[in-house]
Structure 1
Amino acid sequence: MSRHPEVLWAQRSDKVYLTVALPDAKDVSVKCEPQGLFSFSASGIQDESYSFSLELYGSIEPEKGEKGWWKRLLKSEEKPAPYLKVDWNRWCDEDEESISDLVSDDDSRFVGQDEGSSDDDGMLYLPDLEKARG
């Protein structure tokens, strides 16, 4: 039986961040379908099996230049599973986004690499998934 890792999420008008908090994961498999189906599986330190699938509120690959805010992370209106949590460190409200754009934010890297921070080691963000697969 597989377990669920903690999953943090946040959004901007042009991005949705999914952070899978599973440091030292191995045999990681990530699948993203354009219509919004996201699947993850991996093994933990002691060979525990972790997996989950999410049907996201919107598509992962919106039309070019299309921006917008999701009402929620998941398509379903039911209460999300307890392993899904808001990433308050990355969260940005619609009215705060213009202010945060002034602050430099490099989303094209894996967090924890060469920056000396151990808080985010092993975390993978949705903008990095294409790089992780290729």
Structure 2
Amino acid sequence: MTTRLPNIIWCQRKKFIYLKVLLTNVKEEKINLTTTHFSFHGVGSINKITYDFEIEFSNEVDPKTSKWSIKDRYVDFLITKKDFTAKYWKYLCKDGKKHWIKVDWDKYIDESDEESGDSDNSDENPMNLNLNDYENFEGEENSEEEEDEKKEKEQVQEQKKEEDEKEEEIKEEEKKEEDKKEEVKEVEKLKEEKTEPKEEEKKEEN
């Protein structure tokens, strides 16, 4: 089976790598992150094309504190660097620049801007992301608080789904009632039309 390389955009902060794999509604995803390597497999929704890649990072990362999330148009990765004291990486990959990996200019900042404090950086959420939508990589369990939040979110979604279904059922019943009323009106109208000629005939006979 022929596979392709996806387009990737990335940027960084002192403590994090922010990376996007640009694929729409990806399915059958297989993702593996180690301290030095990152591999990805997935099937895109357009033409069901299979995408694969493996890269070796310029420096080591920490898989246990890294997170990821599948979005509608891309797969998001927030990868924690192992050495917070190191300079910004020159390239994402150890073997240099690759044509299918580009800078995420929307979130890019210069290293000097971060050092001066003129950035969006924070230890908890360096990119102002909604981290409730993100998962930990395999091998690290979610905290009890995260699990509770996830369950609560699922319950709210399920409740909303049930409410929407009930609302649809009510609308359907109302429509049926309206249709029945219309049918009754039609029947009554037909009856009236049939009786009118008979009354006219009686008048003529008299």
TM (norm. structure 1) is: 0.72
1:54 aligned partner, one-letter code = I
* Offset of residue 132 of structure 1: 8.4
Look up the equivalent residue of 2:54 and give its one-letter code: S
| Cα 1:86–1:129 shift into 2, 3 Å | farther
- 1:21-65 CA-to-partner distances (Å, cap 9, x unmatched) read 10211011111011x2000010011321101111110111215xx
- Describe the SS at the equivalent of 2:112: helix
The equivalent residue for 1:84 is 101
Query: Structure 2: how far apart are the matches of 1:107 and 1:60?
Result: 20
2:131 corresponds to which of 100, 109, 116: 109
Q: 2:189 matched to which residue of 1?
A: none
Question: Which whole-Å CA distance do the structure 2 matches of 1:102 and 1:22 have between them?
Answer: 26
Unaligned runs of 5+ in 1: 114-127
* Structure 1 residue ranges, 4+ long, deviating more than 4 angstroms after superposition: 131-134
Between 1 and 2, higher relative CO (CA 8 Å, sep ≥ 6) is seen in: 1
Cα RMSD of the aligned pairs, angstroms, is 2.6
8 Å contact kept, 2:13–2:121: no
- Answer whether contact 1:30 1:129 (CA < 8 A) is retained: no
Q: Which residue of 2 aligns with 1:130?
A: 136
Residue matched to 2:183: none
Q: 1:132 to 1:88 in 2, by over 3 A?
A: farther
The residue identity in structure 2 corresponding to 1:44 is: G
Tell me: CA distance 1:83–1:129, structure 2 relative to 1, closer, same or farther (3 Å): farther
Larger Rg: 2
Q: Is the 8 A contact 1:5 1:83 kept in 2?
A: yes
Letter in 2 for 1:12: R
Instruction: Determine if contact 1:7/1:20 at 8 Å carries over to the other structure.
Output: yes
Partner of 2:5: 4
One-letter amino acid of the counterpart of residue 92, structure 1: I
Change (3 A) 1:6 1:49: same
